[in-house]
Amino acid sequence: MTELMTIHNSFHQSQYNHVLQHDTSSLSNTNTLPARIPKLRAQCANNSYNNVISSVSPSEASSSPDLAAIRLLASYCQASSTSSPTDKILSEASTLATSHADNVNVQICIGTLLAKAGEYESALTLMKQHQGSLDVVALIVQTYLLMNRTDLASKECKSARGFAQDALLVNLSEAWVGMREVNHSLSFHPSSHTFVCFSTLIYDSKTGRGEISTSILRL
Amino acid sequence: MTRKQGGEKYQQAYYVFEELAQASSTQSVNTLIAQAVSEIHLGRLPEAETALGQALGLDGESADALANTAVLNTILGKKDEVESAVTKLSAVAPGHVFLQETQRRKEAFDSASQKYTPKFEP
């Protein structure tokens, strides 16, 4: 269990190479898949989409919804990075979202995929079926931030704080939201037009916010 | 002055990111960038410059670190550094959201400015 915790923490700290270097050969059979998924997600985060696609064979994907989900995510990222059509991938993703909505890795990977595709509502419908998964909560927060619904993102953080206290992902989620809440309150400051311009500059140039949201979407 | 209104939230976010970014066991490009961005918001520009330098030291081709370097140098008025960051970004990630958004704004500015005739004094 602690092995898995270490892998997850490294992942959430964006230490993707640590995740990949982690030796998981000694893990028991039941932990093989839970350790493999974050490794495949780390490869996606490193833009190594083809490695994921070649390491998960189509037959493996057809027998495991978890692997099917990560393979679809990698295929989607690969296709959109080369501006190739994504319609077929999106429709397969929607099918998987319906048939295995209660699978946490389907929620994570397909939720990420749908949010990346701008299908925020379907992403949220799928992810909201989670059973106390902080990974999914963090992705829900990110999706709300992408939708500019800082209020809902903040609510989500508060409820996560209720059941997860001082978890790393909750701290990170609150920090992401905090960076946006300020921006929001400042842009309505009536007396400072110059500041509004300045704030728009930072906001739009997707400095932190952009980076943070993309990094979260890679979770 | 206006920063006072929300400075606390940036400060709290900064603590979270900085704690991860500055311990060697938890450091990563993304947390360094996040730290730098919170520092930009807090007006601590030299510190932000240091953090972004650390991020680029870990991965010189990190698209997000390059985009943020361009933004920071815009605020600092360092034109040459902005240009070199943008050039590098265009090479490693031509579809980066920063490039798309700046292009969109350039076009909006150009179309708006067409309505006006500039007058130059001799």
Going from N- to C-terminal start, the domains of chain B cover 2-113
| Average pLDDT across chain A, whole number | 85
Stretch A126-147: mean pLDDT: 95
Among A103-107, A215-219, B33-37, B62-66, the minimum mean pLDDT is found in A215-219
* Residue A180 and residue A145 in contact, taking contact as beta carbons nearer than 8 Å: yes
Question: Comparing C-alpha atoms, which of B60, B66, B106 is closest to residue B86?
Answer: B66
In chain A, domain spans: 1-46, 47-217
Say yes or no for a CB contact (<8 Å) between B9 and A13. Answer: no
Report the gap between the CA of A173 and the closest CA in chain B (Å).
9
Q: In this predicted structure, what is the pLDDT of residue A2? A: 84
Q: In this predicted structure, what is the pLDDT of residue A185? A: 55
User: Which chain A residues are Cβ-neighbours of B20 within 8 angstroms?
Assistant: 13
- A84 CB near a chain B CB, below 8 Å? no
- A148 CB near a chain B CB, below 8 Å? no
Residue A184 in this model has a pLDDT that exceeds 60:
no
Residue A140 in this model has a pLDDT that exceeds 50:
yes
User: Which chain A residues are Cβ-neighbours of B9 within 8 angstroms?
Assistant: 178-179, 181-182
The confidence band for B119, taking pLDDT boundaries of 50, 70 and 90, is confident
Look at domain A47-217 and name its CATH class. Answer: mainly alpha
Q: In this predicted structure, what is the pLDDT of residue A3? A: 87
Q: What is the ipTM of this complex?
A: 0.84
Stretch B49-58: mean pLDDT: 96
Q: In this predicted structure, what is the pLDDT of residue B112? A: 86
Question: Comparing C-alpha atoms, which of A168, A215, A176, A154 is closest to residue B41?
Answer: A176
**Does the pTM of the predicted model rise above 0.90?**
no
User: Which chain B residues are Cβ-neighbours of A201 within 8 angstroms?
Assistant: 71, 74-75
Say yes or no for a CB contact (<8 Å) between A208 and B40. Answer: yes
| Residues sharing a CB contact under 8 Å with residue A139, sequence separation 6 or more, in sequence order | A108, A111, A112, A115, A127, A216, A217, A219
Residue B27 in this model has a pLDDT that exceeds 70:
yes
Q: Which CATH number is correct for B2-113, 1.25.40.10, 3.40.50.2300, 3.40.50.1980, 2.60.40.350?
A: 1.25.40.10
Query: Tokens 């842009």 appear where?
Result: A187
